[in-house]
Structure 1
Amino acid sequence: MQHFPYFMDNYCPLECACYGRVVQCSDKGVDRVPYGIPYNSRYVLLMNNHIDRIQLDLLSEYRTMEFLALTNNRLTDGAIEGAFEGVPALKRLYLDTNQLRSVPADLPMSLEELRLDNNRVELMSDAAWSHCSGLLILSMSNNSLGNGSTSLPRAVLSPLCKLQTLNLDHNQLTSVPLGLPLSIKELYLKGNWIEEFRNGAFNGRSELVVLDLSKNRLTNKGLLRDSLLNASHLESLNLEGNRLKQIPKHLPVSLKTLNLEDNLVTSVKKRAFGALKSLEHLGLARNKIFKVAVGAFRTLPVLHQLDLGHNALRQVPRQLPVSLHSVALTHNRIQAVPRDAFCWGNATLSQSGLVRVQLQNNLIDLSDIDTQAFRCLRGFQVVHFY
């Protein structure tokens, strides 16, 4: 009887396609890991199948496997218990879109990226992370973390001392987790139920560069004075779609991008952005802004883009920064363009840096407009009334 070539490196299972040390078994309708995947495989792709369990000790012989993708299968907690602990070189493990309720407890020490998005995970403990302290990327969006009444246990992720990217979008967290690893550079918390951001999220100087808190329930009261005190490297802050009634105070001076769109802000005071000298992009669209103090934006010396569309402004804000490249003022109630809106200070002596001014869907009567208000612009092609 001919021996089945299970151990031959050049064998490829009938259900799969093999390209060197890449084994492609995705979209094959299989309900088990195919028999005969070569032991020297580095990348094993099993996405979009019906796999509901991994045979015990099946993966322990795969000493060189670096990437295992099991996205969109039918795996449960019991079905993967003990499956990954004997895979010494595994760096990337994709278990997203399955039926898991907890974080696997036997993750290999070699792991650098773990994706558990679109599962049913409700809880996690620091014991789950103790084996993989070298994890760099953890993505757990679209789960049930927090259950709408709690947040994660304090410092539950502290074993992940090298973590750089954490995605907890679309869970049920009510507050920003406390005691997060200081190494995190990107933190995504979009679409949770967060009402407060307490100090203590980072117990020490954080490396955070990108923070997304959009589509939550934050109020000005919930965004505390020292919430971002330790985030001295933060460059991008997204607060879109919350319940803020005022421009938040005490924001990191390192910010380059600030998104406050789709909130409840009604006015912009003169010193609202006073300390944000590095801000380049500012989004204030879809608020209820009807009043902007004279020179409220002039304290932003490198601001390039400003979006004030879909508000209740009756005139173009005065003394806009001369650094602006584009300003959006569409869908307001603007009737007047003051002479010192675009052209004031240095801009009166030379051409403005503006290349796009959007004034569509307002109440401007072109027959009444003061052309001197645009005297420093490069030409009327910069201004869009319709």
Structure 2
Amino acid sequence: MRLSLLLLLLLLLPGPPPAPGMEDAAFPHLGESSQPPPRACPLRCSCPRADTVDCNGLDLQVFPDNITRAAQHLSLQNNQLQELPYNELSRLSSLRTLNLHNNLISSEGLPDEAFESLTQLQHIYVAHNKLSVAPQFLPRSLRVADLAANQVTEIFPLTFGEKPALRSVYLHNNQLSNAGLPPDAFHGSEAVVILSLSSNRLSYVPPSLPPSLERLHLQNNLISKVPRGALSRQIHLRELYLQHNQLTDSGLDATTFSKLHHLEYLDLSHNRLASVPAGLPRTLAVLHLGRNRIRGVEAARLRGARGLRYLLLQHNQLGATGLPAGALRPLRGLHTLHLYGNGLDRVPLALPRRLRALVLPHNHVTTLGARDLAGTPGLAELNLAYNRLVSARVHRRAFRPLRALRSLDLAGNLLTRLPGGLPGGLHTLRLQRNQLRALEPEPLAGLDQLRELSLAHNRLRVGDIGPGTWHELQALQVLDLGHNELSFVPPDLPEALEELHLQGNRISHVGPEAFLSTPRLRALFLRANRLHMTSIAPDAFLGLLHLSVVDTAGNPEQVLVRLPPTTPRQPWAGSPRARRSPAV
């Protein structure tokens, strides 16, 4: 009894006082954890860090409350917000990034006063909203501003002006005219390197653009003129995009581009120019003049642009005299020349000797002489597709000087036989859509590096393919004989063949010996022939362990296809192992 009373007294006596600073740990409140409480985060949003609030894609119609004042990065993109409450936004004075992309915010719903307290804001994204005018004031700390894809008609002096840290401004896909862009729109913002004003309603290049610009997008406007001196201060400009405008020769002068001493890329395509602009800078590497009205190219206009590497003149009005001999001679380093869709009747003479790619399809070229290509021995790609070449006018030595040639495209001409003297280093040869009636081994002799050969849409029959035709093509991997007049699979195909196109022929039977010479075959196309259910021999594909695609659609009957069994080392590419039995 005495022992029980003693224990009770000990339990009722107060214990020793807690150590300093440990009161809460020693005596936690009822129902509370000893851990610190979790950070507040708006309902349905996520807060992966103490300074980040992500409310992306929640279909919010109201600005979320309970956003911590410590937030530096706030994402509200892909919602349905129509306005931002001033009192909620202005208290977030620590914000550095504000993402409002893809909402329904109007100019009335974006109060200018709200930005006055956002003195640390560096990135603002308001693209794809319903702004009709830009905010009249944005913080001085701004670095990136994206107001693209709105309905903006007016910019104010302090929208982007007086922003010494501003680097990138995106205003494309709006409704800006020159009247809506004040002359001092970028005054005091001397660090802007990217400015996008494409797809607006500008009628001339705005003056007083930031002198620090390196990339300027003005495409898809109504620009018909570059005022004199409009680009004279942009000496750091590297890329200038003026395509899809209404520029004519009178809208440019000899000084328009002459002071752009760092310009590398100039796009003037889809305009109304009748000649190559004058005063091109020496630094220019890419000049895009496609889809204009250029009738002739003068060497004098290109002398300043001696560093040019890529010249694009497709879809102009260059006729028989449009590119006279030596017109491109000043461009000693020219790598690629695009002349697609003009009216040239022959390969231009005296092309730059270092030219690597000549793209000349859809012209009127009828003849290739023995010396026409001798001045460009370094050509690696030659495209003469869809011209008017006939075999009788292609000299047997026309291609012989092109020892570096790797790709030759002669599709869509009027050739009745393979050209002779083809370079031995060819990798790709395209001869589809001609009038070839026969194949002989001689023109293909020595093409032991050829990997792809297209002979589709000709008039070839198996009996017109001479014995030994495929013997030299030991590296051939892709052969297209589609849409000819073949009645069966040609014999003795190259051993390296991996892809064989035979669609659109007259093949009615595939025998067991058809693919004995092509053990590496992976894909076979036999659609739209004359095959019936049992036209393919049961053992036709025996030994083709790599075969994974056999296309027999579009034949008179559904065709029974027996693919070879798989082995652990050679599974079918893209085919489930369960389909080892005959497949239809």
Length-normalised TM-score, structure 1: 0.90
Q: Larger deviation: 109-118 or 151-160?
A: 151-160
Q: Larger deviation: 114-123 or 58-67?
A: 58-67
Q: How many Å apart are 1:165 and its aligned residue?
A: 1.1
Unmatched runs of 5 consecutive residues or more in structure 2: 1-156, 172-179, 554-584
Counterpart CA distance in 2 for 1:115 and 1:74 is 15
Query: Identity, % of aligned pairs?
Result: 32
Q: How many Å apart are 1:168 and its aligned residue?
A: 0.6
Counterpart residue number, 2:508: 335
- After superposition, residues 148-227 of structure 1 pair within 5 angstroms as 149-150=320-321, 152-204=323-375, 206-227=377-398
Q: Considering only CA atoms, is the larger Rg found in Structure 1 or Structure 2?
A: 2
Q: How many Å apart are 1:59 and its aligned residue?
A: 1.5
Counterpart residue number, 2:264: 91
Match of 2:216 among 44, 47, 51: 44
Counterpart CA distance in 1 for 2:534 and 2:210 is 77
Counterpart residue number, 1:363: 530
Distance change >3 Å, CA 135–CA 40, structure 1 → 2: same
Q: How many Å apart are 1:95 and its aligned residue?
A: 0.7
Counterpart CA distance in 1 for 2:533 and 2:402 is 47
Distance change >3 Å, CA 167–CA 197, structure 1 → 2: same
Give the AA of the match of 1:155.
G
Secondary structure, in 3 states, of the residue corresponding to 1:267?
coil
Q: Relative contact order: is structure 1 or structure 2 higher (C-alpha 8 Å, sep ≥ 6)?
A: 1
Residues 352 and 376, structure 2, Cα contact 8 Å, conserved in 1: no
Q: How many Å apart are 1:378 and its aligned residue?
A: 2.7
Q: How many Å apart are 1:372 and its aligned residue?
A: 4.9
Secondary structure, in 3 states, of the residue corresponding to 1:61?
coil
Counterpart CA distance in 2 for 1:375 and 1:58 is 72
Counterpart residue number, 2:318: 145
Q: How many Å apart are 1:36 and its aligned residue?
A: 2.7
Secondary structure, in 3 states, of the residue corresponding to 1:211?
strand
Distance change >3 Å, CA 104–CA 7, structure 1 → 2: farther
CA RMSD of aligned residues (A): 2.5
Distance change >3 Å, CA 237–CA 379, structure 1 → 2: closer
Match of 1:316 among 489, 492, 496: 489
Q: How many Å apart are 1:88 and its aligned residue?
A: 1.5
Question: Between Structure 1 and Structure 2, how many residues are aligned?
Answer: 375
Counterpart residue number, 2:206: 34
Counterpart CA distance in 1 for 2:267 and 2:469 is 47
Counterpart residue number, 1:302: 475
Q: Deviations over 1:170-203 (max 9, x none)?
A: 1111111111112111111111111112343444
Q: How many Å apart are 1:222 and its aligned residue?
A: 2.6
Q: How many Å apart are 1:44 and its aligned residue?
A: 1.0
- After superposition, residues 233-244 of structure 1 pair within 5 angstroms as 233-244=404-415
Distance change >3 Å, CA 380–CA 9, structure 1 → 2: closer
Match of 2:251 among 70, 79, 85: 79
Counterpart CA distance in 1 for 2:546 and 2:197 is 59
Counterpart residue number, 1:286: 457
Distance change >3 Å, CA 317–CA 185, structure 1 → 2: same
Counterpart residue number, 2:292: 119
Q: How many Å apart are 1:365 and its aligned residue?
A: 4.3
Counterpart CA distance in 2 for 1:151 and 1:106 is 20
Unmatched runs of 5 consecutive residues or more in structure 1: none
Residues 151 and 175, structure 1, Cα contact 8 Å, conserved in 2: no
Distance change >3 Å, CA 380–CA 31, structure 1 → 2: closer
Q: How many Å apart are 1:213 and its aligned residue?
A: 1.0
Q: Larger deviation: 91-100 or 328-337?
A: 328-337
Give the AA of the match of 2:206.
P
Length-normalised TM-score, structure 2: 0.60
Q: Larger deviation: 51-60 or 22-31?
A: 51-60
Q: How many Å apart are 1:373 and its aligned residue?
A: 4.3
Match of 1:230 among 378, 383, 401: 401
